[in-house]
Structures are given as structure tokens and as C-alpha cells.
Amino acid sequence: MTAAPIPPESLDPPGPGAPPRGVLEWFWRGKSLRQVRNYRESLSTVEQARLARAQVALELADRARDPIDPLRSGSSLALSISLYREAAYWALLCQDESFSGQTLAELFQSLPRALFEDAIGAHKLPDLELALVGRTFVETAALAAEQLPIDASLAHEFVHRLLARKLQPATRTGRLLLQRAVRTLGLLALLLIAVWGGSAAVHRATQKPDLAAGKPWRASSSLDTCKPAEHMCTSTRTDIFFHTVEEVEPWVEFDLGRPTTFSVVEVTNRSDCCTDRAVPLAIEVSSDQKTWREVSRRSDTFNEWRAKFKPQTARYVRLRSLRRTLLHLEKVAVRAS
């Protein structure tokens, strides 16, 4: 096989032109999608005609190679190889408008070997050449039954790869759409993170201080000493800061140090288990630790509870479970409005 002096660029897979640039194009891929969608229309009239003939011949060849219903007259494999020869002829010519040849054998002789090796592989090329141009259709029809499917499979693979090579730009649509989807979702994620981060920052900046932070507290009883900084209590990995024994109406109480005005108590329940133990839970306030008044109550199970009520002025805040149970919480915060 000898190679004609064809420019090296003729061996490269065809493309729709230089890729569009710009930030918007990188993100949305609009121009690139239009390019690949219009790729076939951008081919010359000669290339379009050759491509259409190759596709028709290939479809007929594939149907003959693997018919839906077996032919009554016998195997159609020899016929499929003849059709693959025609499909291969047009598929080779449609690779470049400058390619020419009157027969498939002439194209095998004149076109660069690299074009064939790229489509079928160097190790399969001698067998392919024998199947398509080394035998006449009469010799093909006389082949042993075990050789026919081998030749038909080689021809099938060769033509399909040639057309896939030619239509490679048009197949980029799915990849471009995937890029658009991934980048859109990525941008949305960044925006959501930014909004969430901004909201959290605003919340932190506008949130009133915790009036109970660092203040003395006590519980009605203690099952064990909890170490929330070490995430341990009662030999269990947990973030609770106290744990009562099972008793009637267990409670935890905070001393704000002096009469203080507040209207919000935030309660974080135990998160690793047993959230139902805390309820029903009442929030009570007192100025002397003797007379208590209830300002809020929660009866349904919760993970976090932000109890808001009319401003109260008191020194003591108590959370009391209204039944026989164990009480354990992760955090309690007291805030002004």
C-alpha cells in the first residue's frame, strides 16, 4: 500500500472550527452547541452527499449482517460484506472533499495508511484489506461458513469507526450539555453557599449575646459528670452538658447573677438519642428561686427549640420536664429580643 502526498491535516478528525471563547461561553456553551449542532450543514455539498450514501449503505449492510428474520434462501453475510464495501468506499471519500478514487481498491492504495490504522488498528488492517478488496464478491460467497462472520465483523467495525470519526464534532452535543449542567449546578451551589454564609454572618452579627453563657447552673440530680468539651458523658460519646437520674420532674436551672430582661430561650436537645425524654418541657423564670412562673412549654419532641415570649425580668431560668423521666440537653441559651 502506498500513500499519496496528502496534507497531514487531512488525517486529523474534522472539527467545527476554533472553539468560541469567553467567560459566558465557558459557562453556558451556547456558541459551541450551535457549532456542533450545525456541523453537518457546514460540510460541503460533496461531503454531505458522500456521507449520506455511506450511511444508507451501512444501514443496509448492518441489516443484512444481522437480519431481524433469517432469510429463507440462506445466509446474508456475503451480501452484507458487499454492502460494507460500498459503505466503506463512501465513508473514506467523505473524510475529506479532496479524496478521490474510482474503486475501493484504489482508495486503499492511494489514501494514507494512517487513516486506515486509525479506524481499524494496524494488526487488523491486512485482514480487513483482504476481506474488502482482496477478494471478489464471487470469492467471498464461496468462503467457509466460519470465515464469513469474521470478515463481516471487521467490515462493520471499520465503516462504523470511519463515520464516527467524521461525525465526531456532532457527537460532542451530549458532552457540552453535561458541561453546562455541571457548571450551572456548581454556580448555583456557590451562590447558595454565599447566600447561606452571608445569612449566617448577618445572623451572627445581629444575634443578641447569650445571657446564660458562663453563668452558674445546677440540675436537680446528676447521674454522672458530663464533659461536653470531650464529647463524653456516662461513658457515652455525646455532647450533653448534664444528665439527671430518673426522677419526677427533673430540671436544670441557670443563675443570671442579677435581674435581667430577656424574651428568648434557645434549647438544643440531645442529638445522639432519646429526644423524647425531655418533653413535655416547661421554661420557668424566678427572681428568688422560690416563686416560679411558666413562660413557655413544648409538648412535642424536638431537636432545637427557640421559645419566644413576652420580655421577662428575672434572675433565674429553669427548664423542667413535666413527668418522671431523665433530663439531658446539649445547650441552653438565654437572649434578649
Kindly report the CATH number assigned to the domain that includes residue 312: 2.60.120.260
Q: What is the pLDDT of residue 5?
A: 44
The CATH number given to whatever domain includes residue 95 is: 1.20.120
Do residue 224 and residue 162 come from a single domain?
no
pLDDT in tens, the chain (337 residues): 444 444 444 455 555 555 566 766 665 556 655 555 566 677 888 988 998 999 999 999 999 999 888 777 888 999 999 999 999 999 999 999 999 999 999 999 999 999 999 999 999 999 999 999 999 999 999 999 999 999 999 999 999 999 988 887 655 566 656 667 777 788 788 888 888 877 666 656 667 899 999 999 999 999 989 999 999 998 899 999 999 999 999 999 999 999 999 999 999 999 999 999 999 999 999 999 999 999 999 999 999 999 999 999 999 999 999 999 999 999 999 999 7
Same domain for 159 and 242, yes or no, is no
At 70 the pLDDT is 79
Residue 18 falls inside a structural domain:
no
Listed residues 138, 167, 196: the one ending a domain: 167
Q: Is residue 16 part of a domain?
A: no
Query: What values do phi and psi take at 243, rounded to 5?
Result: -155, 115
Q: Are residues 49 and 146 in the same domain?
A: yes
Provide the residue range defining the domain that includes 127.
43-167
> Of 103, 133, 167, which one is at a domain's C-terminal end?
167
Within this chain, do residues 227 and 314 fall inside the same structural domain, yes or no?
yes
Residue 11 cell numbers, joined: 488525517
Stated pTM of the model: 0.47
Is there a single domain that holds both residue 162 and residue 230? no
Between CA 328 and CA 236 the distance in angstroms is 13
Please tell me the total count of domains within the chain.
Answer: 2
Domain boundary among 132, 167, 202: 167
User: Do the domain assignments include residue 37?
Assistant: no
- 49, part of any domain: yes
Domain co-membership, 49 together with 156: yes
How many other CB atoms are found less than 10 A from the CB of residue 332? 20
Are 153 and 226 within one domain?
Answer: no
